[in-house]
Amino acid sequence: MLSPDSIAFLKRLLDAAGPSGFEAPAARVWRDEARTVAAVIGDVAGNSVATVNPGAPITVMLAGHIDEIGVIVTWIDDDGFAWIGPIGGWDPQVLVGQRIRFAGREGDVIGVVGRKPIHLIKQDARDKAVKFEDLWVDVGARSRDDAERLLAVGDPGVIDTRVVELPGGRIVSRAIDDRIGAFIVLEALRRYAARPGVATVAAVATTQEEIGYHGGGALIAAQRIGPAMAIAVDVTHATDHPGSEKKESGDHRLGGGPVLARGSIISPVVFGILRDAATRLSIPCTVQAAGRETSTDADAIHLARQGIATALVSVPNRYMHSPGEMVSLEDIDRTADLLAEACRAVTPDTDFTQR
């Protein structure tokens, strides 16, 4: 069960701003909490690493990326309007009418996303999807000089929303993907530390996952740590809402437990360790097929060094890459338990080569 202190930390973490490449505010929140559990270090890529039981003959890495999608100032015009581009994968439709919180030179700067009002849009254009280049942000400036006292080209921003708790043990945040994974790996580390196995376990809040498939912080962390086994923790699409297609994505429900990936880059040995741990703890799980890449940190981690036995565990998430992503607290709690138990199953004699 998640403690009140853990839930309070989760809210602080989700509300901190941290788009890809600008994760420092969220990473500071994570490291402050991690120091209550273990020794913590950072690296030049912005990764944060907390380690329990250091010096053991075998190491497990738990990775959840701490970055979120965001926007970046690309131009400030003569009238003081800020024009923006995407950080990560956006549907621009969700930005219309939102407030943006920029990390300005003197602190947070709030602006509103502007668009031509519906009354002034010609009839034949009303049904067309809005594009990034159609949107600007109004920070209340009267001129470029006014705006540039607050903002500069290259300043990042996020949608200015806060965590909301809903009935049924559900929470909503713009940063569930994948701040929730960073939370879970630290919560799992806390539970492992309370009843440790024989392995060293390193929980990593990784960076830059949302901006492409170059490996980001996860590859750098895996190269540095050199684990025998790694588990990436991310979100996957919940398919329990109207319009979802189960034959394409599977049946993954909020409250239905963690989702175990099974497929081409997933170590069958680590998949088996997770499946057996779920059975021992009576944790409900679903399985998601991944015939190629997973589009998560697992894709980079499994190729690090001489190859790392890697698995992916995901939390069902509704409304991904929107201001209102939604997950179940029960799924978060079960996933942390599952990871801690899987780590306890690893010993120096564990053979990660499929025979």
Distance CA 153, CA 183 (A): 31
Is 302 in contact with 265 (CB distance < 8 Å)? yes
Is 160 in contact with 98 (CB distance < 8 Å)? yes
Angle at 160 between CA 100 and CA 94, to 5 degrees: 70
The reply to whether 68 belongs to the active site is: no
Residues forming a β-bridge with 233? 64, 313
Is 262 in contact with 289 (CB distance < 8 Å)? yes
CA separation, residue 261 to residues 101, 135, 206, 303 (Å): 35, 37, 20, 17
Map residue 29 onto helix, strand or coil: helix
Distance CA 41, CA 340 (A): 21
CA separation, residue 72 to residues 21, 93, 131 (Å): 11, 17, 15
- Residue 329 tokens, joined: 């607290």
Q: What is 275-288 written as a DSSP string? A: HHHHHHHT---EEE
Find the catalytic residue in 33, 68, 187, 209: 209
The pairing of strands 200-206 and 48-52 is antiparallel
Angle between the N-to-C axes of helices 176-194 and 24-34, in degrees from 0 to 180, rounded to the nearest 10:
10
- Residue 157 tokens, joined: 């921003």
Catalytic residues: 209
